[in-house]
Amino acid sequence: MKPFFELARRVKLLVMDVDGVLTDGSIFITASGEEIKAFNTLDGHGLKMLQATGVKLAIITGRDAPGVAHRARGLGIDYYYAGIQDKRAALAKLLDESGVSADECAYIGDDVVDLPVMRRVALAAAVPESPSLVRQHAHYVTGASGGRGAVRELAELIMQAQGTFGAAMEPYLA
Q: What is the pLDDT of residues 96-138, one digit of tens each?
A: 999 999 999 999 999 999 999 999 999 999 999 999 999 999 9
Mean pLDDT of 45-61: 97
Mean pLDDT of 71-91: 97
At residue 29, does pLDDT exceed 80?
A: yes
At residue 1, does pLDDT exceed 90?
A: no
- Indicate the average pLDDT of the chain: 96
At residue 2, does pLDDT exceed 80?
A: no
| CA-closest candidate to residue 124, choices 135, 81, 20, 22 | 135
The ranges assigned to domains in the chain are 4-173
In the chain, the amino acid numbered 166 is: G
141: number of CA atoms within 13 Å, CB side?
14
Strand partners, 81: 60
Superfamily of domain 4-173: HAD superfamily/HAD-like (3.40.50.1000)
Output the CA torsion 71→74→80→83 (10° steps).
Answer: 20
| CA-closest candidate to residue 154, choices 120, 121, 112, 132 | 121
| CA-closest candidate to residue 162, choices 49, 21, 19 | 49
Percent of residues, the chain, with pLDDT higher than 90: 94
pTM of the model: 0.96
